[in-house]
Structure 1
């Protein structure tokens, strides 16, 4: 079925149910999806039931920043179901450190409200103003501070999800101690909207730390920084983040000349504790002959981490169209080798690459910026990286890439061992494959 097979009658029925102000039709000569803006759960249910009648697939979306994730199947009639207008805080209990929000609310707005009460949701994906609560959960978005705070699955206590038949289910609860039965929350975290439409999220919170600092170390010798990071992580210190970065990242964040590699270390805690940890790191750096490039505190420290996250391209930025973003997952003690590998291969190919990896998390992100005549080299670079990483039992996923490159290189690479189980879950919850067919690994449930 072609996307054009959504008939005018189908469109009229949808408009009758929701109203013209909630339905955006593609131009006659354009190939875009229908876009529907749900302003309530009832609206979303209507769209899902209409899609079943029209035999259209549904692409759930927040603000669309991660619309490039995965490799969605474009062979069927499609409707983008946007929850961007379903964006309020439903319930906030500061005393219980809990908040329930509608799926379309951006993280930046959540944090702004929580900050007034001295609290925070300890998740730090890039572009917080474009990262909605539902999107963060559906894509399992994290940032460098996952070292201390973990991932969305650690902070979600409850979800409301609309299934393919329009049924609304609730998972978990609105209290921290809720351990009865299966933990269904984790089933939907990272599912990329392939199992259902997340409409509401309940998170547990943390007090806002009164002090934050980030220390930027530099050295031309990456093994020296690796040894330093191991000393840090094996000590009693509790960094909120530790990222090995290449010189392209350093240049993007701080003006001036830089050594080949750097190590960014963050601390968040009471003022005395942060001062003690900072002094310890400074003393170690002097002892080992590692350059202390910069020490930033509070707003400046937060701004630096935010700038690091915003190096990652997103689907709403036209300038990101010709960039490639890779997420490389390995054992934590291999992060330095991954940073060095991508940096070296990109340098040999003459392709600009911004690379940073967590020696405590094993997550490395690489953003490639090839010129228009370098795409063949970029393809070869990605294939070399993937081969090396998969030989070591790691994974390389293309988070963002032009569609023509996705046609030449598999987005997901090596398939996870539990793929057959994922397919069974998908078939059980979405038997007709209406939600984001093909987007997840292995092209799960292509219709």
Structure 2
């Protein structure tokens, strides 16, 4: 019907002023530690060939089996909106030969991701992440650095009520040895057809099952961390030593498997105590076989994805961030066409000098324009009319105190 309001699709996260400023602050806090550590931006499409995710993320995962937005394009190709970031980064690294340059290839990204989940607080169908990937070397020090970068981002926001949980999912031999006993244990359980199908693809998925009856049944299941061979155990011990050196506290969680099948070795998650059921604010791990699975070299990598939406919710829950409205340095009120031209010129010059300047548009009366200046939160305001233009002098009013002073237009840049 014409004129009827159109609302955003259900389950998307939107940020409008003034809360958008807090969102931007959180996102920048999560990105900056990666920049300082030498990670470079990689910008990728939000949709990919569906096969990238079925092969890369794993068909046994809820992400692939239940949550992907998949459609046929006009060329009858199966396309999926990206549900996570790592697979796309690996595809781009292989396609553009970044794995054949200096290693490790250190990359960061941010943007929207999509999962067809049941919307609730902290769980959206469109959500925002900041992620990094370090690809090409299997070094415990890199594992620790990746974790430290995420931790630094959360600390930069001001968060303190979170914890880091870590484990190791071992190498292929460790997982094969564990699988034998795990499958034997699971064979004694009564599972529905869908769960049995998931177990056939990856029995570790049962550790991630949220149903109480499955959790109870898996309470005594054999744990992968007890099957680590000497190489995997040594690597994990080194990671923990580096975290100790960095002063990063952690809790061992041997039941953690994360929601994606490509994880191997070091695996971690940051959990915030004030967010209820959706308590994970970020996590990641090492993925030794992903590049080869996607047609590249057999190189190892490690990375993380940090939830911007949830980090913002955590900051608000802790009371360490407020909605901050835009505040300009100067608000210009032009009276007449000539004054508006001069206002545009002054604003352009001051903005070029890194000043924030707003102009009262719409030919409002002086009283209404002054109300607009007051609501804007500007630090200073000037009224620009014919007399001010001819004298090249304005009355500069400090909005907080109401104090005024005569200032040459050419000197505004040094005064405000």
**Shared fold by TM > 0.5?**
no
TM-score (norm 2): 0.28
TM-score normalised over the length of structure 1:
0.26
Higher relative contact order (CA 8 A, sep 6+): 2
> Which of 1 and 2 has greater Rg?
2
Higher helix share: 2
